[in-house]
Amino acid sequence: MAQLTDEELIQIRRHLHQIPELAMHETQTHDYLIEVISKMNLEHAEIREQLPDLPTAVLVRIEGTNPQRTIGYRTDIDALPVSEQTGLPFSSTHPDVMHACGHDIHMTVALGVLNHFLEHQPKDNVVFFFQPAEESENGGKVAYEQGVFQGKWQPDEFYGLHDNPDLPAGAIGCRMGTLFAGTTEVNVDFHGKSGHAAFPQNANDMVVAASQFINQVQTIISRSINPIESGVVTFGLMKAGTIRNVIAGSARLEGTIRGLTQVMIERIVERLKEVAEGIAKSYDCTVKIAFNQGGYLPVENNPELTKRFISFCEQDDQTNFVETAPAMTGEDFGYLLSKFPGTMFWLGVEDDSQLHSATLNPKEESISKGINSINRFLEFRMNH
Ligand SMILES: CC(=O)N[C@@H](CCC[C@H](N)C(=O)O)C(=O)O
């Protein structure tokens, strides 16, 4: 395979878009990535796959011509449990699963950069990591703990991107310091007593308790934290009951906490525990509250590398650079950046729909523009 054309990249993206898979189940995606990579010129490359606890991961290492360092480039490969409503002819063929966070774009950009350096052997070594499980299950942390990045697979510096519908197609966004929030997942289970809808006096209704909990939680951000330092608590899932005329004896809530510092997250965690215990007391029920930080640390960009990255993007006449504010999105690349210095940045995909929405439709011209800027930056980096 020679250098991938824009048309071929779009076909690859559309195929990936049609086969979205949830965290740790990315088998078709894995097989397709291997199919595409196997057609490339692998003369100076080595592939690693079928890792014991991460069977859908793919790593490719390119040997540099005169390496001073090993540069890591990471893309995530999983999708979300969202039912696509774009109406696109290449919509998801997997019911209720969608690339609603643009990881199909991320993978295609990574394949384009990989293809470029396979065609033009780089000066430095480059390790590409196609990472399962970004949306949940912390694939980056699992990979690190498995020792994936040891020996010649250890990056001296690591780069990765996330798409951004609010930026112009192909623009690169970045900032010094914290780019994304840290997150902690939270699960809450209320247990009371089920019963007949007609006899509430004999039951203990957990729909009522859980609803009260959700309302009270809203005051954590508005009343318990310094408004200058922001935080987020969102419960995206609430399950209770089986039928209209049986009082629900239990309720389950699953949510996510975000903060730009761990101190903020810990403050929110403490308040959530207190609110849950207060509800349990006043509704005479039991509550179990569990937290999982999982490696979704704040994404902290390395000062020296990020300064170099930003100044390259600012002066490069083929890159449209935008300085961005910190965002409350989470990313388990934060964990890898706590182990290896590096930079995470945004790639603009210009769309009216937001990330995680069923109508997200990134502009495909962002793919070739992103590949071009990244190739140019990495080549610059290899010579400076
Ligand atoms: C970029 C993005 O959307 N990332 C996800 C990361 C999820 C982290 C974790 N599962 C949680 O929900 O806390 C995000 O939702 O920001």
Residues placed in the known binding site: 101, 103, 135, 162, 356
Is a pLDDT exceeding 90 seen at residue 4?
Answer: yes
pLDDT digits (tens, 9 = 90+) for 220-256: 999 999 999 989 999 999 999 999 999 999 999 999 9
Identify whether the C-beta of residue 210 lies closer than 8 Å to the C-beta of residue 276. Answer: no
1 in a structural domain = no
What is the tally of structural domains in the chain?
2
Domain stop point among 277, 292, 307: 292
Q: What is the distance between the alpha carbons of residues 328 and 182, in angstroms, rounded to a whole number?
A: 8
Residue 161 and residue 213 in one domain: no
Residue 157 and residue 75 in one domain: yes
Residue 255 CA, ligand 1 centroid: distance in Å: 10
Residue 129 and residue 254 in one domain: no
Residue 2 confidence (pLDDT): 79
Residue 76 appears among annotated catalytic residues:
yes
pLDDT digits (tens, 9 = 90+) for 255-297: 999 999 989 999 999 999 999 999 999 999 999 999 999 989 9
Sequence-ordered list of residues with C-beta below 8 angstroms from that of 275, at least 6 positions apart, any chain: 213, 216, 217, 220
Q: What is the distance between the alpha carbons of residues 329 and 256, in angstroms, rounded to a whole number?
A: 11
Residues placed in the known binding site for Mn(2+): 101, 103, 135, 162, 356
- Of 76, 163, 300, 351, the active-site residue reads 76
The DSSP 8-state label assigned to residue 148 in this structure reads T
Residue 73 and residue 168 in one domain: yes
Domain stop point among 292, 320, 336: 292
320 in a structural domain = yes
- Among candidate residues 194, 188, 44, the one with its CA nearest the CA of residue 119: 44
Residue 195 and residue 284 in one domain: yes
pLDDT digits (tens, 9 = 90+) for 316-337: 999 999 999 999 999 999 999 9
Ligand 1 atom nearest residue 355's Cα: 3
Residue 268 and residue 308 in one domain: no
Residue 270 and residue 326 in one domain: no
Ligand 1 atom nearest residue 330's Cα: 16
Identify whether the C-beta of residue 237 lies closer than 8 Å to the C-beta of residue 254. Answer: yes
If one residue of 104, 135, 187 were mutated to test the ligand 1 pocket, choosing by the most ligand atoms within 8 A of its CB, it would be 135
Q: Is the CB of 162 under 6 A from ligand 1?
A: yes
Domain stop point among 292, 320, 346: 292
Is a pLDDT exceeding 80 seen at residue 298?
Answer: yes
Residue 88 and residue 198 in one domain: no
The CATH number of whichever domain residue 14 belongs to comes to 3.40.630.10
Residue 288 and residue 306 in one domain: no
Sequence-ordered list of residues with C-beta below 8 angstroms from that of 310, at least 6 positions apart, any chain: 174, 175, 176, 321, 323
Q: Which domain holds residue 235?
A: 182-292
- Of 26, 84, 135, 189, the active-site residue reads 135
Residue 121 and residue 13 in one domain: yes
pTM of the model: 0.95
The CATH number of whichever domain residue 246 belongs to comes to 3.30.70.360
Residue 3 confidence (pLDDT): 86
Residue 280 CA, ligand 1 centroid: distance in Å: 28
Around Cβ 28, how many Cβ atoms within 10 Å?
17
Residue 80 and residue 207 in one domain: no
165 in a structural domain = yes
Is a pLDDT exceeding 90 seen at residue 1?
Answer: no
Residue 107 and residue 242 in one domain: no
128 in a structural domain = yes
